[in-house]
């Protein structure tokens, strides 16, 4: 458990620096996300190198599952945007605030980072490493829920309700995929493609 708890601590520190109102203005969001996600993923791959054969075995069906699940999750967020902005006055400005980070880099660079680095790296750490180990120790459902809770909570530093809810929904979605398919690939592809779509290709704001 020490590697997992250490990883959670490192993630909490990085996400504090990235999102907190005291530090966010002093750092480039995309540069620090690149460093943070890469640090966590590379550490997870090194520590879990003996477990990687099954978790990272690529099957053709993972591609279609990943792509279709990304489309489903995008639809959930598209509809969720309409519903939450109708119900809550704070929703629209908070969602727009999330998209404010796009001013810190070009759309091309953001798209490349999300598709090829940040999205995959997050899944390698959160699902392929943390959830896998917590499920092994506490059982599938407890491990899934514990990982999802931590994944959502590290986003709390932004003090943005919509970001927290988005992280919770995504954590539940990709965590369930990992628990069901027992492979990193479906959620990795889903995360990377969803990130690219919702931030660059078809942003909802």
- What is the three-class DSSP state of 21? coil
For 143-189, write each residue's pLDDT tens digit.
Answer: 999 999 999 999 999 999 999 999 999 999 999 999 999 999 999 99
> Which residues neighbour 40 within 8 Å (Cβ) at sequence distance 6 or greater?
7, 10, 11, 14, 121, 122, 124, 125
118 vs 29: CA distance, rounded Å? 12
Sign of CA dihedral 167, 204, 183, 140: positive
For 22-40, write each residue's pLDDT tens digit.
Answer: 998 889 999 999 999 999 9
Q: How is 110-165 classified by DSSP, letter by letter?
A: HHHHIIIIIHHHHHHHIIIIIIHHHHHHH-HHHHHHHHHHHHHHGGGGG--HHHHH
pLDDT band at 49 (very low <50, low <70, confident <90, very high): confident
pLDDT band at 1 (very low <50, low <70, confident <90, very high): confident
Residue 52, pLDDT score? 72
Global pTM?
A: 0.95
> What integer is the mean pLDDT of 88-115?
95
Burial of 141 (0-12, 13-18, 19+ CB in 10 A): exposed
């Amino acid at each position: 458990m020490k590697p997992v708890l250490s990883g959670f601590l490192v993630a909490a520190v990085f996400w504090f620096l990235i999102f907190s109102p005291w530090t966010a203005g002093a750092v480039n969001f995309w540069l620090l996300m690149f460093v943070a996600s890469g640090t966590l993923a590379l550490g997870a791959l090194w520590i879990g190198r003996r477990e990687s054969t099954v978790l990272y075995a690529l099957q053709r069906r993972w591609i279609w599952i990943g792509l279709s699940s990304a489309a489903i999750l995008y639809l959930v967020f598209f509809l969720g945007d309409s519903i939450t902005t109708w119900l809550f006055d704070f929703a629209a400005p908070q969602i727009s605030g999330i998209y404010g980070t796009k001013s810190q880099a070009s759309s091309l660079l953001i798209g490349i980072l999300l598709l090829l680095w940040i999205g995959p790296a997050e899944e390698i750490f959160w699902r392929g490493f943390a959830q896998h180990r917590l499920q092994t120790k506490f059982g599938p459902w407890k491990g899934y829920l514990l990982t999802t809770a931590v994944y959502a909570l590290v986003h709390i530093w932004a003090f943005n309700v919509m970001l927290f809810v988005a992280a919770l929904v995504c954590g539940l979605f990709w965590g369930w995929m990992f628990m069901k398919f027992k492979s990193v690939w479906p959620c990795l592809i889903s995360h990377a493609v969803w990130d690219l779509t919702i931030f660059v290709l078809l942003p909802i704001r």
